[in-house]
Chains A and B, each alone.
Chain A
Amino acid sequence: MTGATTGTPAAAGPESLSTTALLRFATAGSVDDGKSTLVGRLLHDSKSVLADQLEAVELASRNRGQESVDLALLTDGLRAEREQGITIDVAHRYFATARRRFILADTPGHVQYTRNMVTGASTAELAIILVDARNGVVEQTRRHAAVAALLRVPHVVLAVNKMDLAGYAEPVFARIAGDFTAYAASLGVPEVTAIPISALAGDNVVTPSAAMDWYGGPTVLEHLESVPVAHDPTEDPARFPVQYVIRPGTPEHPDYRGYAGQISSGVLRVGQRVVVQPSGLTSTIEGIDALGQSLDVAWAPQSVTLTLADDLDISRGDLIAPADGAATATREVTATVCHLHDRPLAPGARVLLKHATRTVKAIVKEIPSRLTLDDLSHHPDPGELVANDIGRVTLRTSEPLAMDAYADSRSTGSFLLIDPADGATLTAGMAGEAFGGAKGQGAPSAEDAAWDF
């Protein structure tokens, strides 16, 4: 393999592929921004679109009377989407290069689909936000940036698209990149990578543009392949929600009692003193079984089974944390939420709150404000939140929860509200303050901008 070509699965040996890292990322932008074309281009130029898929798209393009192949059709999934020419739902795309495996959550961009972008961003380590070079940063761009900031997506990429329609002019790109970076900083986004592209022509998506020699940075794919994915888990609080208690009770394992779960953040070690929440009982980690392999150290996001030195009453829903670094268990939760369901959420609502592996009853006490993502303005006492609204909510739970601030842990700082009557997922919640140090009035100040991942 030479350095001159971007890796493809075909170019990589099986061995190199089995040791590549995984990057989950999300894209946000409207049809008009060329998002589907970008995604199609990314898949096509990285040789991730296979012959039969391309044939189907060529056929569909012809059936619609289009002369050239419409790469946007690659990402249309459902019949209703094809009929209406829009993306309704989050679609997941999978592709690989010699260096990485990618999971793309492709989310629609219109305001009525904010919930979908929130969904896609919730698991993303990187978000690509598209703008049209002719329009620059618009209301929708600010909304997308706010969602990425709210969900604390670690890496944000601004793809300034349609540079071909802006004369491939550097000043156009520099102005938009400057506007966006300043706005993102005000939201607490620590780092933005801006890339000038033409998804239609293929400039700087996979291969470097011949028309923009003033740009010396990576293409979109090069950036996706090189952005750090493995951050240092030792900086994070160790959190282990217990999913299931393994008790074989067999002649070979008469007394075995293992706590099965996935380390949601941080690092666990054999010999570590731990506390079980919410009971407050303490013990020491005696063994870590990582799916058949006995380890001294394990870290997020590994699924493991812990054994403890003491025989404690531990069950699903408990949370194991370091004895000297546990979250405070509370029945009062203050959070920023995105309402997802078509039935509005109002104060007084009795709901179920699902946090990590624990589900408890909760009452919505107050909805102090609704947030307009376009300009981050707060609207006090909205009365209710409707689908796609972002707002502040206070809740009281039936039992204490060891909940972290979302700023400290995306996994143990997040929760769902569920309708106890029909089981519908109502609302997505993020505990603590929204954005990097937002105080609840207008745009947050830049001084508390840094995030802690």
Chain B
Amino acid sequence: MTTTAHLAGSISGSPYALSHLDVLESEAVHIFREVAGEFERPVILFSGGKDSIVMLHLALKAFAPAPPPFALLHVDTGHNFPEVIAYRDRVVALHGLRLHVASVQEFIDDGRLRERPDGTRNPLQTVPLLDAIETHRFDAVFGGGRRDEEKARAKERVFSLRDEFGGWDPRRQRPELWQLYNGRHAPGEHVRVFPLSNWTELDVWQYIAREKIEIPGIYYAHEREVFRRGGMWLAAGEWGGPRDGEPVETRLVRYRTVGDMSCTGAVDSDAETIERIIAEIAASRLTERGATRADDRLSEAAMEDRKREGYF
């Protein structure tokens, strides 16, 4: 092998080189500014998870010293990690942002949605999301989805047109060339925008480390009462778990993703610092969703089906 001979192309070779994080950051900022320039009522989907936190950080940088010209929208399943809600409210107050909340619980309470037998609320988010988009007439909705997450997402555009039902039709996607994003849409339609399309899980963590971004404590290793279901550690909590025959134990865990408590699994981890999280992810042999999301294990096309319905 010719290792040394091929190091010539590494970025140290040129004074004009940029690291992959610099390139990804500039690309995401470009996307935010395109939306600000071409849409009337954009909104950032903000769950308090790491991807939405990075999105907000990029939006703050893109328009400084002015505030970002976007509100935040949280689709709240009601099965929240309290630390994440506390983080959300702190960030909103700190930056003087406007937060809209679309509540799954409200939809269940007034009968517009019915609780699923398995108690999972992730798929139930689509209806309140589309309702909020329609009510507030949002024309661009930023999501933190990344193409490396899942194979249906691998075919997603940066600007993804949704029809009046919020649906995604993979066969009718607009080709996306160069950095020319086509955001034209008819009244009632909207565009989902994914500024982190080209980021990987590792990029997100490296960027959080580089930018010293505060994240909710549940991403770091901590002791928690958990029980085993579907090969994952789920948190015992008000949302309904555990059932009979699912013994609870206290383990040292952390979360790789933050979602609805009923279907987001914790991973065994002693990573208490961002550096150790990065090392852990770089060495992991499981994808983020494979390790932590029960809802994507349902079928080969679980995500594709949810996206067609209008999911994130």
Query: Taking beta carbons and an 8 Å cutoff, which residues of A are in contact with B?
Result: 3-6, 9-10, 12-14, 17-22, 50-53, 56, 60, 76-80, 82, 88-94, 96, 99-101, 103, 115-116, 118-119, 122-123, 208, 218, 222-223, 225-234, 243-244, 246-250, 252-253, 256, 260-262, 264, 267, 289, 291-292, 299, 301-303, 305, 316, 340, 352, 354, 356-357, 410-411, 414-416, 418, 422-425, 428
Instruction: Say if the beta carbon of B148 comes within 8 Å of chain A.
Output: yes
Would you call A79 and B175 a contact (CB within 8 A)?
no
Q: Which single residue of chain A is at the shortest CB-CB distance from B201? A: A94
A256 to B197, CA, bound (A): 32
Closest to A227 in B: B9
A17-B202, A77-B155, A411-B179 in contact; A230/B13 too (CB < 8 A)? Answer: yes
Most buried by B among A53, A77, A418: A77
Contact between A301 and B154, CB atoms less than 8 A apart: no
Contact A316 B10 (CB under 8 A): no
Instruction: Establish whether residues A56 and B18, one from each chain, have CB atoms under 8 Å apart when the complex forms.
Output: no
How many A-B residue pairs have C-beta atoms within 8 angstroms? Tell me: 250
| A410-B3 CB under 8 A given contacts A14-B206, A262-B29, A423-B186 | no
Are A303 and B66 neighbours in the complex by a CB distance under 8 Å?
no
Q: Is the CB of A357 within 8 A of B34?
A: yes
Give the 7 A-B CB pairs with smallest separation, nearest first.
A423-B184, A52-B290, A226-B6, A3-B3, A248-B66, A230-B14, A22-B20
B20 touches A101 (CB 8 A): yes
How many angstroms from the CA of A6 to the CA of B184 in the assembled complex? 45
B291 at the interface (CB under 8 A from A): yes
Instruction: Please determine whether A99 and B7 come into contact, CB atoms closer than 8 angstroms.
Output: yes
Chain B stretch 7-30: residues in CB contact (< 8 A) with chain A: 7-11, 13-14, 16-27, 29-30
User: Judging by beta carbons under 8 Å apart, are A226 and B63 in contact?
Assistant: no
Bound-complex Cα distance A94 to B275 (A): 22
Contacting residue for B178 out of A18, A247, A414, CB 8 A: A414
Say whether B103 faces chain A, with CB atoms less than 8 Å apart.
no
**B37 / chain A contacts, CB cutoff of 8 Å:** 243-244, 316, 357
CB-CB nearest in chain A for B11: A21
Contacts of A82 in B (CB 8 A): 300
- B253 in the interface, Cβ–Cβ < 8 Å? no
- Residues of B with C-beta under 8 A to A19: 11, 19
- Docked-complex contact B175 and A119, CB < 8 angstroms: yes
Contacts of B34 in A (CB 8 A): 243, 357
Q: What residues on B are CB-neighbors of A119 within 8 Å? A: 175-177
Cβ of A78 and Cβ of B16 under 8 Å apart? no
Given contacts A77-B152, A94-B148, A230-B16, contact A303 B30 (CB under 8 A): yes
If A14-B275, A90-B155, A232-B16 touch, whether A262 touches B1 (CB-CB below 8 Å) is no
Query: Of B19, B182, B209, B304, which one neighbours A21 at CB under 8 angstroms?
Result: B19
> For the complex, what is the distance from the CA of A383 to the CA of B19, rounded to whole Å?
47
Whether B16 lies near A218 (C-beta < 8 A) is no
